[in-house]
Amino acid sequence: MSTVLPPADPTGAPPALRGETARRFYRTSEFSLAVISVVGFCVLAVATDFNLLSGGTLGAFFRFLAVPIVIGLAQMVVLGVGQMNLSVGALTGYCAMTAASLMVEHQVPAVLAVAVAVGLGAFVGAVNGVLVVVTRINGFIVTLATMTILEGLRYGVAGSGTLQGYSPGLQRLGGASLLGVPVIFLAALGVAGLVAFYFRRTVSGRSLLASGGNPFAARLSGISNDRSLVVAHTLSGLLVGVASVLVVAGSGSVNTSIGDDLLLPSFAAPIIGGVALTGGAVSVVGTVLAAFIIRMVDVTQAQFDIDRRWVDLVVGVVVLGAVLIGRVREAVAARMRGGAS
Amino acid sequence: MTARDVTVPASKPPETPEVDEARTARPGRGLPFWANPRLGLVVVTAALVAIFGSLRPAFFNERLTIVPLLADVSVFLIVGLAQLCVLSLGHMNLAVGRMAAISAFVTGWAYTSLSVPLYVGMVIGLLAGAAVGGLAGLIIARTGVNSFVVTLALDFALLGLVTLLYNSVTGGVSFAVRPDGMDQLRNDTFGDYCAGDWCGPSAIPLVAPLGLIAALVVGYVFRYTRLGRELLMTGSSERAAQYSGIPTGGRVVAAHAMSGTLAALAGFLLAVNNGAFSANIGEGFLLPSFLAPVLGGTLLAGGAVSVLGTILGATLTQVIYKGLNLLGFVLDELKIYLGVVLILALSLDRLRVVLAERRGVRP
Amino acid sequence: MTAELLVAEELTKTFPGVRALDRATLRMRAGSVHALLGENGAGKSTLIKILTGVEKPDSGRLLLDGNEITVASPHAAGAIGIGVVHQERNVIPAFSVGENIVLQSMPARGGIVDRKRIRAEARRCLDLLGLDLDPDRPVASLSVAQTQLVEIAKALYLDTRVLLLDEPTASITGDEAERLFGVIRRLIADGRGVLFVSHKLEEVFALCDTVTVLRDGASVLEAAPLAEHDRGQIVDLMVGRAQATLELPKRTVDQGATPALELVDIATASGHREVSLAVRPGEILGLYGLVGAGRTELARALLGLDRITAGIVRVKGAPARIRSVREALTRYKIGYVTENRKDEGVFGDQPVTRNIGVTIWRRLARLGFVPDKRERDVVAEYVDRLGIRLAGPNQLASQLSGGNQQKVSLAKWLAAHCEILVIDEPTVGIDVRTKAAFHRLIAELAVGGMAILLITSDLPELVMLADRVVVLRDFAVQGELLNDHDYDRMSQAVIRLIHAEQHAEAI
């Protein structure tokens, strides 16, 4: 039995270098996305004879990037606690229709209608969260059910009609640009910044990630996993509400099909952005860059008149590839850590 | 050294009084009669039938309601079975609808270009479904990627593919062909077939046996065959399955191929019921594919399935559809009620599981 | 006389059908390391759960520094000054070392995390342990041993007076365990108390000052100085009667027989090099090594789960290419009783019949159809032979005790008529009595002609059972020994091999 205290341990068994490498490793995902974004953008610009950089085209490019960014963030938030939200699309449509209906059919001022849309989104999100916690049913099924309910409710707002001609003020804001950059895109970036701050610097956000990363350890430390689930779903719904406002402001009209094409992009952005399906980590930068890349693919499709369906195919394949790369990375990291027995 | 050279001790080891008494507790009592999920479904279905029937006597009209209802039950039962096959592994198949669509396309194409008889076309479609499902399974097994992501991505890829294919081959969205026998399969009931003076029940459409056969086959596979058992064990614990010598990769492919085949069968039946092989076959398959098995007690986590439960679940779902339809609800409004039913059913199921756990019995 | 730090007095706790604690008492002094011993089911985990606020006692009281306390929840336990480090690692992988340490009470201002204070607090806790880790490092980049130390730092964050360590050396190497002990001694120097729960008696005797032994929920030895007892006495107290020296059946191994299993200069994708060993029918070859030696990896490579990059595997004298577990089983009759019972050895939510039958369906199936009755009969036969205690054949495997689960895990290979068995750490987490029964079982299997490769890091088990011993370190063979069953001599020889600079000659 040794009676001499061992010397203070310098850096532990694996060399400090491994820690550096691990940190660099994580950044690699966002870094490579940034590289792809920049390179891709340049290539696209060249391929369109620099048309892409002209005022109107560039503006349109960013304008239609706003909603996918916010929707991607809405999905990212629940992915962070290891959940999924299948209702993002239908909820966007429902909130958008409700806001439009309030303005068109009930003469509600735009500001109030916007507040209602956001609040409605948050409310539905909270309902999702509470259902998941109380019934302990898989979030996939719960949001599949609420998605179906919302599709029905969405239809119920105005049937198969179209709502348009609401609040010129809101529409002007939707079409406005600040120094050439569309306002709604700036709004989306602002939202992204807030979300990033939330997850990086607030106790609530860190608690969410703790619950997602290791629910057992979180619980032992006094963090309520149930609360994290509800907060995550509510936040997701809130972001969807914001997205619906962007939709209403950005387009001139809304109908019952709004949101139908948002489900896959809502997953594609965070997944390609490096967010794991198992929860515990989020990446706002990755999600935004991934949305950017997806937008570039869209523009390429329109520019070269490629059939829309090929785009869907490609996006599907890329999502698969991203998850694959994520798994490979996990495996390599595990091997680096050791763990033989 | 012969196979029996190694002998296991024939006598029991010395008495080892059980230290951990808590675990080998009293033998589990069965669930109370009323908590049995299948019975619950039967009761609810019967109650709804009674309610709908009293509100709208047309509910009991054979030609108007019962026959189409049973035809739809057949289709959606098979859709539920398609999902059940991968649920056994704890996986999901989000592409059931598109797999049905692409198989329906292949079938329609076979009728148009190869002029094959009705059932040959069906088999060709089933093979297409098996191939697509098998592909999904292969990707999942080889890459280890979550089945949710793979089938979601596949769903979108196929969505595009199906439309493209229909556009290029038919210039539209459906095949105009009608092979011999299709009209009969679509319209006839057993009442149209008579042996002498005795005619079959006219309430049962000709398509119903296909659903029943599918259910019997799937039930048999999971209950009695090695394949079925190994699927359930893989769903229970994939790692333990690997260490026990189960070729889990192959089983994953098999389950997904089965799913694709059943999706194709459902697509075929739906096309027959509708009268045409079109691009929108499979559009409404996703929710019912989960609703039927989950209502019937199949676990999402894998390791346990119930074919009988799926039959009852599909029946209940279609009864709700038809009943609300008769009462004047439009499809989109129906969606609200379906979603609510799913949540209610799952909450009750959760309650059932909690009760069962407390009694130390397998739910 | 130092004051009593933590006292658990006359704790009683009853669960449906079992009395887990029966007026159990525990007394710890400040500045000492106190051992808590007992077989599985003796009540140790229930006691720990009560101390850490996971369960409430039915009666009895807890005193900290002489004051009566109630521990309402795990979080409250931390606030009162009772910290715990569990057997399994419990960190948030994506967070930094510092954030993990302060997780219970994140320093913040107005809801916003105060990073500077996190670093400072983490630094403080790490210094208490003499650890020089960067608090901003992602905890995922640390080794298992380092992560454990971070968890101790976390337990110290909230002015911990009592630190409970549950099986802390279960998954760390010898050197790392030594470092841990150094840390523990440093902690008690400041007046804290450490409760050390372990099955490894050698460590307990090396590290601890006093001991409490639980048996059947009661304290059969309370706060006794370890210096006054020896190993045998302690084991007797744990087991409850003078433990008769286990009489294992006499065995002779025909050293000239063709080996049932032979590895010649095997190299694998996981890093093994020039590994050679041979197991004859009826022989037990002990493969000894510490955590990280590559033993389980070798077993996996043998089963076709990892790639063999060089060398030859021979089964019954003929070269064998094993590409899958199924091939290992059906063609070469090799079975593998896994190390990790819970995740790899049994199917928890399946009935015992399925658990045991899983390897024989292929044999029983006729045209793909498995006859239920035949399966039941075969399963019943092995349940009987192995003495598995069941409430009924359909009982779920997860409801069995650890020992019975291990028997189920073994039964499926016996049912499949295996002739070669690789058994990986069979008695981890199993109480002394069932352990002895298992050893007898393994010996009897060898008598019956089974060739057994026994992977273990339990020296007493190794010396008792093995005919020959191969010592593995860093994925290579350090040496091979003939076992003379003399514990002192063998353990010394094995330890010498483990720590040797080069490969030693066979003794």
Instruction: Give the integer Cα–Cα distance in Å for A296 and A312.
Output: 13
Provide the shortest C-alpha distance from residue B298 to chain C (in Å). 14
Instruction: Give the integer Cα–Cα distance in Å for A57 and A296.
Output: 12
Q: Which residue has the higher pLDDT, A333 or C64?
A: C64
CB pairs < 8 Å spanning A and C: 130
Q: Which amino acid is at C297?
A: E
CA C496 to the chain's CA centroid: 23
Give the max Cα distance, chain C: 78
Contacting residues for B101 by C-beta, under 8 A, at least 6 apart: B158, B162, B267, B279, B280, B281, B282, B283
Fold classification of C4-239 (topology level): Rossmann fold (3.40.50)
- B334 → closest Cβ in A152, A153, A271: A152
C197 forms bridges with which residues in the sheet? C36, C166
Which residues of C fall within a CB distance of 8 Å from B16? 387, 403, 433-434, 437
Contact of B333 with chain A, judged by CB distance below 8 Å, is answered with yes
- C391 → closest Cβ in B24, B224, B362: B24
A9 forms bridges with which residues in the sheet? C131
Provide the shortest C-alpha distance from residue C45 to chain B (in Å). 12
Q: Look at residue B26 in the predicted model and tell me its pLDDT.
A: 34
pLDDT tens per residue across span C437-461: 889 899 999 999 999 999 988 888 8
Shortest CA distance from C20: residue in chain B: B22
Q: Look at residue C240 in the predicted model and tell me its pLDDT.
A: 64
b/e sequence A31-50, b meaning 16+ C-beta within 10 Å: eebeebbeeebeebeeebee
- C391 → closest Cβ in B6, B22, B27: B27
- Give pTM, 2 decimals: 0.79
- Residue that is written with structure tokens 């995902």 in the block: A29
CA C38 to the chain's CA centroid: 15
Q: Are C130 and A337 within 8 A, CB to CB?
A: no
Q: Are B232 and C343 within 8 A, CB to CB?
A: no
Contact of B344 with chain A, judged by CB distance below 8 Å, is answered with no
Provide the shortest C-alpha distance from residue A273 to chain C (in Å). 16
Subunits with at least 3 CB pairs below 8 A relative to chain A? Answer: B, C
| Exposed / middle / buried, residue B88 (Cβ in 10 Å: 0-12, 13-18, 19+) | buried
Residues of A with CB under 8 A from a CB of C: 1-2, 5-6, 8-14, 16, 18-19, 22-23, 26, 201-204, 206, 209-210, 213-214, 216-223, 280-281, 333, 337-341
Q: In this structure, what token pair is assigned to residue C79?
A: 């606030």
Q: Look at residue A229 in the predicted model and tell me its pLDDT.
A: 96
Contact B91, B302 (CB under 8 A): yes
Over residues C350-370, the mean pLDDT reads 90
Contact C411, C443 (CB under 8 A): no
Q: What is the pLDDT along chain A (341 residues), one digit of tens a residue?
A: 333 323 333 333 333 334 445 455 445 678 878 888 888 888 888 877 777 777 778 888 888 899 999 999 999 999 999 899 999 999 999 999 999 999 988 888 889 999 999 999 999 999 999 999 988 877 888 998 899 899 989 988 888 888 888 888 888 888 888 877 889 999 999 999 999 999 999 999 999 999 999 998 898 888 999 999 999 999 999 999 999 999 999 888 888 888 888 888 898 899 888 887 778 889 999 999 999 988 888 888 777 777 766 777 777 777 777 777 766 766 666 655 544 44
C82 forms bridges with which residues in the sheet? C162
List the domain boundaries for chain C. Answer: 4-239, 244-333+421-507, 349-418
Q: Look at residue B357 in the predicted model and tell me its pLDDT.
A: 67
Sign of dihedral through CA atoms C157, C160, C164, C170? Answer: positive
Tell me what percent of the residues of chain C surpass a pLDDT of 70: 95
Which residue in C370, C382, C447 has the most chain B C-beta atoms within 10 A of its own C-beta, making it the best mutation to test that interface? C370
Contacting residues for B172 by C-beta, under 8 A, at least 6 apart: B166
Q: Look at residue C241 in the predicted model and tell me its pLDDT.
A: 56
Closest to C319 measured CA to CA, from C306, C332, C330: C332
Which residues of A fall within a CB distance of 8 Å from C156? none
CA B215 to the chain's CA centroid: 8
Closest to A70 measured CA to CA, from A26, A121, A120: A121
Instruction: Give the integer Cα–Cα distance in Å for C235 and C229.
Output: 10
Subunits with at least 3 CB pairs below 8 A relative to chain C? Answer: A, B
DSSP C34: E
Residues of chain B below pLDDT 70? 1-37, 356-363
Q: In this structure, what token pair is assigned to residue C481?
A: 């020994």
For C33, phi then psi, to 5°, come to: -105, 120
Closest to A128 measured CA to CA, from A31, A57, A233: A233
- A153 → closest Cβ in B92, B155, B336: B336
Q: Are C325 and B245 within 8 A, CB to CB?
A: yes
Instruction: Give the integer Cα–Cα distance in Å for A71 and A284.
Output: 12
Q: Are C347 and B1 within 8 A, CB to CB?
A: no
Q: Look at residue A248 in the predicted model and tell me its pLDDT.
A: 92
pLDDT band at C243 (very low <50, low <70, confident <90, very high): very low
- Residue that is written with structure tokens 């539209």 in the block: B172
Instruction: Give the integer Cα–Cα distance in Å for B145 and A277.
Output: 10
The pairs formed by B182-185 with CB atoms below 8 angstroms and a separation of 24 or more are B182/B118, B182/B272, B182/B275, B185/B118, B185/B272
Element of type H or E holding C63: strand C59-64
Q: Look at residue B143 in the predicted model and tell me its pLDDT.
A: 81
Closest to A110 measured CA to CA, from A193, A63, A167: A167
Over residues C478-488, the mean pLDDT reads 86
Sign of dihedral through CA atoms A131, A133, A136, A139? Answer: positive
Which residues of A fall within a CB distance of 8 Å from C270? 340
pLDDT tens per residue across span C149-190: 899 999 888 888 899 998 888 777 778 888 889 989 988 888
- A148 → closest Cβ in B152, B163, B287: B287
- A327 → closest Cβ in B92, B144, B161: B144
- Phi/psi-derived region of residue C65, left when phi > 0, alpha when psi is between -120 and 50, beta in every other case: left
Instruction: Give the integer Cα–Cα distance in Å for A210 and A223.
Output: 8
Examine the pLDDT at C2 and tell me if it is beyond 70.
Answer: no
Q: Are C104 and A204 within 8 A, CB to CB?
A: no
Q: Look at residue A212 in the predicted model and tell me its pLDDT.
A: 93
Contact A126, A304 (CB under 8 A): no
Provide the shortest C-alpha distance from residue C126 to chain B (in Å). 37
Q: Are B240 and C351 within 8 A, CB to CB?
A: no
Q: Look at residue B102 in the predicted model and tell me its pLDDT.
A: 94
Q: In this structure, what token pair is assigned to residue C67?
A: 């004051």
Fold classification of C244-333+421-507 (topology level): Rossmann fold (3.40.50)
b/e sequence C203-230, b meaning 16+ C-beta within 10 Å: bbbebbbbbbbbbbbbbbbebbebeebe
Element of type H or E holding C129: helix C115-129
Instruction: Give the integer Cα–Cα distance in Å for B283 and C318.
Output: 58
Closest to C9 measured CA to CA, from C39, C47, C35: C47
Contact C493, C507 (CB under 8 A): yes
Question: Please, what are the domains in chain A?
Answer: 48-329 (1.10.3470)
CB pairs < 8 Å spanning B and C: 176
b/e sequence B315-352, b meaning 16+ C-beta within 10 Å: bbbbbbbbbbbbeebeebebbbbbbebbbebbebbeeb
Helix axes C402-415 and C372-386, enclosed angle (nearest 10): 120
- Count Cβ atoms below 10 Å from residue B39 Cβ, excluding itself: 12
Shortest CA distance from B159: residue in chain A: A309
b/e sequence A91-107, b meaning 16+ C-beta within 10 Å: bbbbbbbbbbbbbbeee
Contact of A327 with chain B, judged by CB distance below 8 Å, is answered with yes
Nearest-5° Cα angle at A256, A255 to A258:
80
Contact C472, C295 (CB under 8 A): yes
List the domain boundaries for chain B. Answer: 74-176+206-283
Strand residue runs (E) in C234-317: 261-268, 275-279, 284-288, 308-315
Q: Which amino acid is at C272?
A: H
Shortest CA distance from C445: residue in chain B: B8
Q: In this structure, what token pair is assigned to residue B99?
A: 């797999």
Contact of B159 with chain A, judged by CB distance below 8 Å, is answered with yes
Q: Are C104 and A221 within 8 A, CB to CB?
A: yes
Closest to C180 measured CA to CA, from A74, C171, A330: C171
Which residues of B fall within a CB distance of 8 Å from A274? none
pLDDT tens per residue across span C276-326: 999 999 999 999 987 778 899 999 999 988 889 999 999 999 999 999 999
Element of type H or E holding A177: strand A177-178
Shortest CA distance from A136: residue in chain B: B350
Q: Indicate if C244-333+421-507 has the same CATH topology as C4-239.
A: yes
Q: How many residues does chain A have?
A: 341
Q: Which amino acid is at B148?
A: F
C212 forms bridges with which residues in the sheet? C36
Sign of dihedral through CA atoms A143, A149, A152, A156? Answer: negative
Instruction: Give the integer Cα–Cα distance in Å for A144 and A84.
Output: 10
